[in-house]
Structure 1
Amino acid sequence: MAAGLSAVSCASWLETSSPSVVDADFVFSDFGTGKDVMLGAYNSYISVVNEGTVINLEVIGSDLERASVGIIANQIGAAQLYGPEGTSYDVPNFDINDRSLAKWSTFYSVISLCNNIIANIKNLPDYEQIIGAAEPSDWSDLLGQAYAMRATCYYDLARLYGDVIYMTEDQLGQDIKTLTGRDEIIEKEINNLIAIEPLMYRVGENNHLPDQMTRNYVQGLIGRLCFMEAGYATRRTDLGDDFYKDADGNVLTFETWGTDDERNAAYGRRTDWKDFYAMAVPYLESAVNEPGGGVSLITVDPRSDKEGRSYGNPFQYYFDQVTKQVMPMESIYEVTMKQEGGGSRIAYNWGRG
C-alpha cells in the first residue's frame, strides 16, 4: 500500500509543470496577469520614446523646444533655430542608422506584445459579451489599451519611415517582410480605435490615471491619425501605381504638389482628405467637451505667496504640479519618466516639451 501510494505520488509530481513555464491561456485566465502583459508593453514603449532618435529628429525648430540644448547649439546653431520671424534654417543630416535600427526593433517588440494581448482577449470564451456590452469593462478597456498602443506605434513608424511592415493579431508567428502602404495601415488602425473607443474608461474612471491610455487619449489619437491621413506627406513612386490603398483595398488617388524623380518620391495628399477631417471632429469634440472627472483645463492659478500675492500664471501651474509629483489636472497620458542621474538630459528635454 505504501509503495503504491509512493509511486502515484511520484508520478503526479513528475507530471506537474513548473510554475515558471506558463502559456497564454494561463496568463489571460485572470485579468491581473493579463494586465501585467500590457504593463510590459508600456515599459518597452517608454524605452523607445526616450531613445536618442526621438530627441534628435522630432520637432526640431518647433516651439516645444524638446531637442536638447547640446544638439541645438552644436549641431544646428541657436542663431538659426531661434532667428527672427520668417527666417529659415538648415537642419544637418544625421547619421541615424545605429539609433534607427534600435528604434525600429523596439517599436515592433511593443506591437508584438499588443498583438498577443488582442489575440488572447479575442480568444476568451465571453469575448462577444465583452465587446457587445453597453458599458466598459476591465477586459474591453485592456483590449482598447492594446489597440491604442499599437496604433501609437504605427503612427510613429509612419511618420519616421513611411511605408512599413504591418503586423496584426492575425499574423502572430509569421515572418512578414513585405511593406504595406502607410495609408492602409493608419486607416485600419483608425477603424479599430473607433470600434473600441466607447468601451474604454476615461481618466478618473475605474481608478484610471494618465499613466495608461484611456478613452480620452484614444479620442485624441483618432483625431491625430485622421489629420495625418488628411495632410500632405511624401510617398514613394517606385512601388507601382496600385501600391497605396485604403483599408478596404481600393487604390488611392492623390492631389500631388510636387515630385522628385531622382528620389522616386511625390509630395501630396489623398483626394478624399476632407473625409478624414469630418471623421476627426466628433472625437476631438468629445475629448474637449466630455473629458470626464479626471482631467480639466487649467484656467485659474490658485497659488499665492505668504504675503497673499497671487501668481496668476495658469500655464506655469501645470509644471508646478508636475514637479511636486501631483497628478497634473491637464494630463491625458504621460510617459513615465524617472529622475535622471549622471548628467542625462532626457527628463529635462521631455519636461520642456
Structure 2
Amino acid sequence: MKKIVYIICSVLMLITTACEKDFLETESPSSLDEDFLFSDPSEAFKAVAGIYDVQYDLDRLLYYETEVVGSDSECHPENYSSQGRHIPEGLFASEFNINDGNSSKTWRECYQVITRANLVIEGIESNADYQNDKESNTKSEWTQLYGEAIACRATAFKLLVRYFGDVPYFNYAIRSASQADTIGLTSRDKIYDGEIEALQQAVPLMYRLGEGGITAERFSGTYADALIGRLAFDAAGYQTRRTDFDYGSVTFDQIGVENSTWQAKYVRRSDWRSYMELAKTHYLNVMNNPGTAMLIEVDERGAGFDNPFQRNFQYLMDLQVSPESLYESGYTRGKNSDFPYSFGRPSGGGGSNAYPPKNYGQARIYASFYYGDFLPNDKRRDVTACITANSGAASERLINFEPGSREKGGLAMNKLDESRFADPYTVRQRQSGCNWQQLRMGDVMLDLAYAAAATGDEATAKTYLTKVRSRAFSSADQSVHVTGYISPLSGQALLDAIAFERKLELAGEGKTRWDMTLYGTMPERIYNLRNRQIAMVEGLKDNGYYTFPDTGMTISNYVWTKFVNIKDDVDASLNLLTTQSPDGITSSDPTYPVLVPGWRGTSDLWTDYISTLASDKVNLAIMGLYSYIDPNGAEAAALEADGYVMSPWGINIVNNESQYTSDIFKGYPDAYYSEGQPPRYNRAIPFTTLAASNGLITQGYGHASE
C-alpha cells in the first residue's frame, strides 16, 4: 500500500522549544528556515508531512481506551478491576489519575499538531504564489497544502473538545513564551466557529479525492467538507458542559439536572438547528462532489462473496486504499499498525512467526447487541462480530466469554482479520501494515441522514438511510427490511432509526459512544443496555437460554462443536474465511454447522503449515449458536454421537455476571439515570498544563487539580 512519505524537513527537526507551557511545546523555525520551507511546494510538503507524522496516529490512545470499548454495542474484554483505563471508559466510578499517560499524551500531541499547523498556515499565507492562486480562485499545490494544514488543526481541535471540553484555542503561530502567557480556556463554541470558518475558506481551493494525486491517505477537499459537517454536527449536539465556565451569550436546552459536585450539565445550544442545517449543507457537498469516494454497493468478487459491506474492509486487508474512504491513516508493513491487533479478529498466536501472530482484541461486542439488534439476514452481522478466534496455528477456536484477551473476553471484531489478508503477515504482531479507516462514506451518509431528519428534511434523510441499509440485505429482503421498514418512519421514530442504523453500521469503529453523547441519549442507552444484559443473564440462569424479542435470536449456555475437514467433508472449493452464508439456509442442512455464521475460518495460503495439523483440527462446526439445544435431550445426544462436544458459551457470561451487568458503565448507575444526572465522560486536563497556566486554565467536571 502506498503511504505518505513522512519526510520531516531537517529544519523542523532542529528547531528549539520556545514556550514553557506544557500544551504548547512550540517548535519555531528561524525566519531563514521559514523562507526556505515556503519557497517551493515540494519543500512546504515536507513541513505538512511533519504534521501528518503526528496526525496519522493522533487519536489512537483514547480511541483505544474509551471510544471503541465504551458504548451500548462495544465493550472491553478484561475484568473491570484489571485495568485502570476502565475507569474513564465507564464514566468515572472512582477518581482517576489526571496525569494518565494516554490522556496527557493525546493532549500534548494534539497541540503539537496545532502549533505545527499554525506555522505552516502562516508560512504559506506569506507566499506570493499562494496569494495569487487564492486571488484568482485557482486550485494548486499551494492551496491544497494550505487546506491540509487547516484540516489537521481542525481535526486536532475536534478531538480536544470531544475529550476535554473547553480548551485553550489559538489559530496563529506561537514563537515565544510571552505569546502564550495570556492563553486560557476558550469556549468550545468559539472553537467550532473558528475552525468551521477557516475550513470554509480553504475547501473551495482544495483538491477533491482523486484530483491532483490526492488519495484518502491525505486530507482532501472531500474530507474537509465532511469535517465541517462533523464540527457543525458536534456544535449542534448535546454535550456535558461546565457550570463554572462563562459561555457568554449562548443559551442551552438542558436534559436532567445540574450536578453541583461536578459542576456540570447535559445540554445543547438553543440555536442548534442552524448548526445542524450547516452540517447538512456540507455533508451534501460531499455527496454532490465526492471526487473518487463512493459507497460500495456492489461486490464484484462473484459468487460466494455477495457482501459489499465486507468489500470495504477487504480493501484494507489487501493493503489498498478503499474507495469508500474519505480518510485513512497510513501505516507501513513491518513497522507499525495497531490494526487489526487491537480492533480485529483475535489470535492466540505468539508475538512472531505465528499463523497469525497474536491479536489482542481490545474491541469487543456485547452479546445483547449481537443477538438482540442484528437481524439474522443482515449481512453486516457476521462481518462485524466473530464467534471464533484464530488459534495462532492456522485453525479456529470458539470464542470464550471469560474475561481476558485473545480468544477470551467475549465476541470480538471481525471487520479486520489477519487470516483474511491477501498477503498475510506472519513475521511479527502489530506490523500488518493495515490502514486505520477513520472516515468512510457510510458514516457520512448516516450523519447526513440524521442532520436532514433533525431539520425536517425527511426525504433526504430517508434517501441516505436507504442507501446504507439497502446494501446490508439481499434483493429478496429489500421490500420488508428496507423499503417497508423505512417508508413509515417520521419524526422521532426516524431519528431513532438512523441512530440505530449507525450503531449497526459502525460497530467496532469507535463512533457509537460519541453518537450516544451528541444525541442526548447516553443516559437512556446505558440504562437500557444494562437492563438487556441483566435480562439475558437471568434467562440463562433460569432456563439455560434467552431469546431476544426483537430478533428472535437465542443465546444458550452451551453450544456443540467439532473440528471438521471442510475440504474433504463439505466442499473442496469452500473457503469459510470469505463466505457469505447462503440465503435461507436452515439448521437441517448438513452444511449449516460450518457455513453459519459466515466470514470465519483460516487462510488457505497457509497450506504448508495446515498440512502439519490433523485434517480435522482446522475448521469448527457449531450447532446451537442461535437456538436452544437441551443438554439432556435427544438432539444433544445425537450430536455427541456424531462427534460433537458440548462447549461452554453463555454459561461463562453467567459465571462472570458482574462483568456483563453491574460493571457496565459503573460510573453511571441506575440511580443517576433516575435523577437525571449528566454523564461524566470528559477527561481531566493534565496537571503540568494547569500548573504552567498562572490560573488561566482551570480543571472542570469534578476532576482533581493535582
Pairwise same-fold verdict (TM > 0.5):
yes
Give, in angstroms, the shift of residue 183 of structure 1.
1.0
1:259 aligns with 2:262: no
Aligned to 2:294: 296
Structure having the higher Rg:
2
Deviations 1:47-75 (A, max 9, x none): 43233x3201114344885x7xxx43333
1:134 aligns with 2:137: yes
Q: Does residue 1:226 correspond to 2:224, yes or no?
A: no
* Residues 268 and 76 of structure 1: CA distance in aligned 2, closer, same or farther (over 3 Å): farther
Helix, strand or coil at the partner of 1:151? helix
**Alignment size in residue pairs:** 305
For structure 1, which runs of at least 5 residues remain unmatched after alignment?
Answer: 1-19, 82-88, 246-250
Distance 1:288 1:349, change over 3 A: farther
Q: Which residue of 1 aligns with 2:382?
A: none
Q: SS where residue 297 of structure 1 aligns? A: coil
The alpha-carbon deviation at position 38 of structure 1 amounts to 0.7
In structure 1, C-alpha distance between the alignment counterparts of 2:210 and 2:226, rounded to whole Å: 17
Q: 1:348 aligns with which of 337, 341, 351?
A: 341
SS of the residue aligned with 2:150? Answer: helix
Q: Determine if the alignment matches structure 1 residue 313 to structure 2 residue 312.
A: no
Sequence identity percentage: 34
- Offset at 1:267? 1.7
**1:287-327 Cα shifts (integer Å, max 9, x gaps):** 123212x22211111113xxxx3421111111221111222
**Cα distance, 1:165–1:311 mapped onto 2, change above 3 Å:** same
Residues 340, 346 of structure 1: 8 Å contact kept: no
Superposition RMSD on alpha carbons, in Å?
2.7
One-letter code aligned to 1:211: E
* 2:127 is aligned with 1:115: no
1:287 paired residue number:
286
- Answer whether contact 1:76 1:92 (CA < 8 A) is retained: no
Partner of 2:69: 60
Q: Which amino acid aligns with 1:58?
A: E
Q: Helix, strand or coil for the counterpart of 2:58? A: helix
Shift of 1:90: 5.3
Amino acid at match of 2:322: P
64 and 144 in structure 1: CA distance in 2 versus 1, 3 angstrom threshold: farther
Tell me how far apart the structure 2 counterparts of residues 76 and 228 of structure 1 sit (CA, whole Å): 32
* Number of the residue aligned with 2:80: 75
- 8 Å Cα contact 2:57/2:329 also seen in 1: no
Q: Which amino acid aligns with 1:262?
A: T
In terms of mean alpha carbon deviation, does 327-336 or 124-133 score higher? 124-133
Cα separation, partners in 2 of 1:107 and 1:158, compared to 1, 3 Å: same
Q: Distance in 1 between matches of 2:60 and 2:332?
A: 11
SS in 1 for 2:158: helix
| 1:29 counterpart letter in structure 2 | S
How far apart, in 2, do the equivalents of 1:204 and 1:196 lie?
18
Match of 1:191 in 2: 197
After superposition, the Cα gap between the structure-2 partners of 1:301 and 1:114, relative to the gap in structure 1 and judged at 3 Å, is same
In 2 relative to 1, CA 62–341 (structure 1 residues): closer, same or farther, beyond 3 Å? farther
What TM-score, normalized by structure 1, do the two folds share? 0.79
More displaced stretch, 89-98 vs 195-204:
89-98
**8 A contact 2:295–2:324 mirrored in 1:** yes
1:8 maps to what in 2?
A: none
Q: 208-217 vs 257-266, which deviates more?
A: 257-266
Q: CA deviation at 1:349?
A: 3.1
- Structure-2 residue corresponding to 1:152: 155
SS at match of 2:331: coil
Q: Please state if 1:323 is matched with 2:333.
A: no
CA–CA distance in 2 between the matches of 1:63 and 1:259?
Answer: 24
The one-letter amino acid of 2:250's match is L
1:270 equivalent in structure 2: 269
CA contact (8 A) 2:129 2:142 kept: no
More strand by share: 2
- Distance in 1, Cα, partners of 2:268 & 2:71: 23
**Partner of 2:169: helix, strand, or coil?**
coil
User: Aligned pair 1:48/2:58, yes or no?
Assistant: yes
Q: Distance in 1 between matches of 2:307 and 2:124?
A: 46
Listed as ranges, the matches of 1:238-257 within 5 Å are 238-239=244-245, 243-245=246-248, 251-257=249-255
Distance 1:222 1:253 in 2: 22
CA apart distance, 1:167:
2.0
Match in the other structure for 1:205 = 211
The residue type paired with residue 43 of structure 1 is: D
TM-score normalised according to structure 2 size:
0.41
Indicate the SS of the match to 1:338. coil
Higher relative contact order (CA 8 A, sep 6+): 2
Q: Secondary structure at the residue paired with 1:187?
A: helix
Task: Tell me the secondary structure at the aligned position of residue 267 of structure 1.
Answer: strand
Structure 1 residue identity aligned to 2:112: S
Structure 2's unaligned 5+ residue stretches are 1-13, 15-29, 345-414, 416-508, 510-706
Deviation at 1:185, TM superposition (A): 0.8
1:101 Cα shift?
1.2
**Kindly tell me: are residues 347 and 338 of structure 1, through their superposed partners in 2, closer, same or farther at Cα, counting changes over 3 Å?**
farther
Deviation by residue 1:73-126 (Cα, 9 ceiling, x = unmatched):
33389xxx9xxxxxxx95665646222111111111111110001010111124
Q: 1:74, 1:341 → 2: CA distance?
A: 31
